[in-house]
Amino acid sequence: MGCASKGWNVAVNMTILRALYPDTGASQIKLSEQDCTGQVMGDLVVFKQSYTKCSTTSKTTGDTLIYDNQLVYPESRTPFPIIVHGYRWRVDVECDVSRVEEVSTNFHPNRTIINENQHVSSSSHYKSEVKFFSDGTFYKQIFGNPISLKTGENVYVSVTMNSDDVQVKMRLHTCYTKPDPNADARLTYPLIQNGCVVDPDTHILSQGTHETRFVFSAFEFPQSHNSVYIFCNSTFCKTTDTSDRCTQVCHGSPALVGRSLWTLDSYADRQKRFMLT
C-alpha cells in the first residue's frame, strides 16, 4: 500500500494471492469500477489511478485530506459482469494526504487477504512546482542551477499545485528570503506574508485554485552579495473550504501554516540559490 501526491500506488502480490486462490485472474481485480484494473508488473498488479477516478471518495479532517476506495474481486461467471452478486474478497484502501508541508511518501506493509473486509492505509503530501520566467507572459522560462540574475531585474514566478484534483485548491500564503538557509531570523526578508504583499517591489499577478503567479525585483543582501535563497509556504484545502486559512486573499496579519520549501531553481527539490550580477 502506498500513496502519491496525485493518486493511488497500490500493489497486489499475485504469488501470495494465488497461494490462497489458485484460479485468481489479474484482470478480475478492480479498484471499485469495472474499468479500473491494474498493470501487471512481474508478480505484482499495480494500481496507479488518479484520486479523481474509480469512484474514489474524499473528506477533510484537520490537516489531512482522506481518500477512500476499495480493491475488489467480484465473483462472476462472465469475465466482465454487468452486475455483481458477491465478492471473493474486498479490501478498503485509504490515502491520507497532508494539506501542508512538502511532498513525502510513507509506505505501510500490507496485510494478508482473507475472506472479509479489511482496511489498509498510507499517507502522502501534496507537491507544488515552482518555475521562474524572465517575462510577464510566462513564456521564457529561466533554467539553471543556480540561475544568474541582475540586481533590479524582474523575476516572474509561477507556483503550481502538482495535482489534477478539482476538489482541492492551493493557497500560497508566505514567501520570504534569506542570504543563507541557516541565516539568523533577523536577516529574513519577506515578500509575501499571510497572502499580503509586504515588499514594495513584489506584486501578485494572478491567483487560481491550482496556481499563483507573482513578480519581484531581484536584490542582494549586504551580508552576502552572491546568493539569495527564497522560501514559500502553502496550504492545500478542499475547494469548498472558505475559511481564512484556505481563502487566497490578504488577511492582514502574517501567520505560517505548514511549510514547503522552494527555491529559484526548477529542477531541485530543496534549497538552491540564484546569483546576482
For the chain, domain boundaries: 10-125, 128-276
Q: Is the peptide bond before 222 cis (omega within 30 degrees of 0)?
A: no
Residue 199 in contact with residue 175, Cβ under 8 Å? no
Q: Minimal CA–CA distance to 19: which of 43, 37, 46?
A: 43
Q: Supply the pLDDT for residue 116.
A: 46
Residue 190 in grid coordinates: 519577506
Give me the sheet containing 211-217, strands edge to edge.
128-133, 154-161, 211-217, 203-207
Q: Which CATH number fits domain 128-276: 2.40.50.100, 2.60.40.4100, 3.40.50.9100, 3.90.700.10?
A: 2.60.40.4100
Q: Minimal CA–CA distance to 128: which of 207, 53, 3, 233?
A: 233
CATH architecture of 10-125: Sandwich (2.60)
Cα–Cα dist 114/19, whole Å: 12
**Residue 70 phi, psi (nearest 5):** -140, 135
Q: Supply the pLDDT for residue 88.
A: 85
Q: What stretch of H or E contains 44?
A: strand 44-47
Cα–Cα dist 25/22, whole Å: 9
Q: What is the pLDDT of residues 187-228, one digit of tens each?
A: 888 999 888 899 999 999 998 888 899 999 888 887 776 778
Q: Residue ranges of the chain with pLDDT lower than 50?
A: 101-116, 253-277
Please measure the distance between the N-terminal and C-terminal CA atoms of the chain and give it in whole angstroms: 49
Residue 139 in grid coordinates: 513564456
Q: Same topology for domains 10-125 and 128-276, yes or no?
A: yes
Q: Supply the pLDDT for residue 204.
A: 92
